[in-house]
Structure 1
Amino acid sequence: MIAKEKEAEILRLYHGEKRPVGTIAGQLGLHHTTVQRVLGQAGVDPKVVAPRPSMVDPFVPFLVEQLGKYPSLRSSRLFVMLKERGYPGGPDHLRQVIGRLRPKKPAEASQRLRTLPGEQAQVDWAHFGKLAIGRATRPRRQPDRRDPRPLVGPRPADRAARAPPAPGRREAPRPRAPRP
């Protein structure tokens, strides 16, 4: 909250001396939004700056028509089409305008799966090569196909979700999968 004297000074500088908001803010050491808020509370309508005309403005109806017919049409192709029609600008600004004009894809409904700790386990798959039991080995089925075996345990991304070790205790080393 600013003092009433500062509010009066803001109003005097704005109405009496016709100073802009930024100048008043700099002179009084206030933020420009504070000056705008005081002026708004005093009933001063905020200045609305009219947007400047753009080089793309004459071509917007054509862009809307083309994007309505072909919503997946690339910006580079639209740029070439506008250049043939006399567009004097560059592709970067046009790409931004096309992004605003392009029809949006409808949002898909989805429901997030939420589970409590310990309710669900996640398993990654790894290839271990041949399985040896005693002197017997189980060969691969085909040389080009891998034999997937489950590697049970939390994924590395789930490490952050685990509880930290108790104070004074070290975290046990994680078992590693053997290399093929």
Structure 2
Amino acid sequence: MVMNGEFFVIKEMHAKGMYITYIAKEVGRDPKTIRKLLGQNEPRRYQRSNRRIGKLDAYKAYVGQRMEDGCLNAVVIYDEIKTKGYIASVTTLRYFMRPLNPIISSKATERFETEPGEQAQVDWGHFRVDWNQSQKRLYAFVMVLGYSRTLYVEYTEDEKVETLIGCHERAMTYFGGVTRTCLYDNMKTVVIGQDEQGEVIWNERFAKFATHHGFILRRCKPYRPPDKRKS
């Protein structure tokens, strides 16, 4: 079963005139599955299944690392991963990078050097796709491990707290566990505000979820651009 976001990406690729066999190769699925999906008006509800490994999966951690290093040029990264054995097209790479670009470009990403299993960083990306002659807004849940920089990305149609919880659960399954702490920006589904002492007020439902799974919530420090005034 494909994720909702992947469903709309497949629809968008087909709307741009890409053949079914080409789309199937790019996303790592059978052409019969693609043809069946294109016959649906809406994605089916998510059900856990054994997903076929995509051609880009083995390179996602490297791509995420290069983007954090400041390289947002898909062609440059494409040339690099081709030498490592990547055999799909630059188009597939661009589709993966697109929801990550706003996260990395909108703020200076601070590199956290942590011990294995110590910390993960979580954020939402958002982008639009063509859908029924209009624009549809999609979201990308992104979790990256502080030590290995391994990425988990999941496309969704909303950023509600129940969606966020589900994404965390699937990320935990993907990583095979949970880090001691998880670091968040001012995500409205996680951070409600702060009290008079400046302490974070967490979303109660999400805080209970974190307690149940045994990880500690942390908020990113507000980013302050460097002082460029001459001394």
**TM-score, normalized by length of structure 2?**
0.24
Larger Rg: 1
Higher relative contact order (CA 8 A, sep 6+): 2
